[in-house]
Chains A and B, each alone.
Chain A
């Protein structure tokens, strides 16, 4: 669906991508996780054909994002990091304009359906400048989805979105993937990694790990508190799935396991610590 081979983008003084290899499958919800400046947006822009890589290749839906851009752009939906909307136009007009790029009728059912998904049907007639930041984010998402693309690429779609709506967004991303679409989401919210089928961890322009987030979670440390004959001891396990069974022996009254949170695991990985 999307693949990158030794993809690099260098500016005069900055290396934004430094030899990225990637393979994203159809129907996956794939996360780009990493701190600000890790190269997430640059990678996304290379995928959508908004920048020319210095070296390496990207293939999207079997096409070259630059040479075949017009064919590709009809099949992808892209939500940039900043909302990129027309503030003086209404929500509906913004959607109609981006739908018209795909030569879809601007007043049809597509728009109503998409507005319902982002829960903005009641604000369809309001100028975007009158909406809150989170609402603008939803309009921007709607603009990326209105033509039902096969590949959806979302650059930090949930930033500025409240937790309730964030959960609804993720539910929708999962539903799109279940319906056969491929969803690429970048985020610096580590907790969102768990919502992805797989994640690529980015650090300084490199992919340092591509994992199932469950595997990532199991690779974390665990702090175990044991009560044996009324005496409490505490140990930290580096590989708890294999070490933990050995601890549960005779005389253990009580055991409490605290797993390292995913965001700490990811932070540790992107900071360059050994596992």
Chain B
């Protein structure tokens, strides 16, 4: 028998377990929903203070909202998984027979469900607050991008948690993973305006692809006109998840 002998029932058990933990940890649930809501409100306050009628509101507000989902999902996933390591439940999972792939898939299942609802809430708030006026089609397309970014963020959180022994060690990874997207994703300044080296580096920044698709949506030409970026997001998620499953340490 090898690690390849994974079983959906075990991944399902990990998902149910993670969901039950979420239900039992209200603080976590509140943090993962209320924090983005509050931060998006601050974004609106900031936007109103700028008072620049020339700039298209949705072009900045939507990527900003997606970035907030990216940030919160990434940090919370990393911390939850490191907590499993600190409490030794991760090791106990392994010794009880859970395979790395089942643990990654199980957690992904649970947190994807959370992200599905979280994205609905955040997008509704964003649409109402900024009066986005994207129409049903545009809103659904933004939702897809936001949801894909949430999955990418979870994958990144899982990957990073494999390199931290305790919650404290997660913190250095937060700016490392979260600051480059602010400047290199095209969220504030277009990627084309960046120097060559920064443009090259921007290719490994997942948010760059999300911002590319969102700009097409807010420009009214539709997500499919950036199909390359749209397909890159799930591909990146799959690649990072693969890395996360491969680097999940079972032994010391």
Q: Which residues of A contact B (CB under 8 A)?
A: 48-52, 66, 68-71, 73-74, 76, 78, 80, 82, 84-86, 88-89, 93, 97-98, 100-103, 106, 127, 143
Contacts and interface: CB of A to CB of B under 8 A. Distances in A.
A100 B93 CA distance: 10
A89 to B, nearest CB: 5
Contact of A98 (B88, B96, B251): B96
Contacts of B92: 78, 80, 84, 98, 143
Contacts of B252: 50-52
Interface residues of B, number: 29
Task: For the complex of A and B, list the 7 residue pairs with the smallest distance between their C-beta atoms, beginning with the closest.
Answer: A88-B24, A100-B13, A101-B96, A84-B88, A73-B97, A101-B97, A84-B92
B196 interface: no
B22 to A, nearest CB: 9
Contact of A70 (B2, B9, B88): B2
A66 B25 CA distance: 35
Given A78-B95, A89-B21, A101-B98, A70 B5 contact: yes
Contacts of A127: 24
B94 A50 contact: yes
B203 interface: no
Contacts of A93: 17, 20
Interface string B22-35: 00110000000000
A100 B3 contact: no
A206 B7 CA distance: 40
Contacts of B7: 103
Contacts of B13: 97, 100-101, 106
Contacts of B188: none
B136 interface: no
Contact of B251 (A51, A88, A97): A51
Contact of B96 (A68, A71, A86, A102): A102
B1 interface: yes
Given A70-B2, A89-B24, A97-B17, 5 more contacts: A50-B250, A70-B3, A80-B88, A84-B88, A101-B98
Contacts of A88: 20-21, 24-25
A78 B3 CA distance: 20
B251 A49 contact: yes
Contacts of B89: 84-86
- Between A88, A97, A101, the greatest number of chain B beta carbons within 10 A of the residue's beta carbon is seen for A101
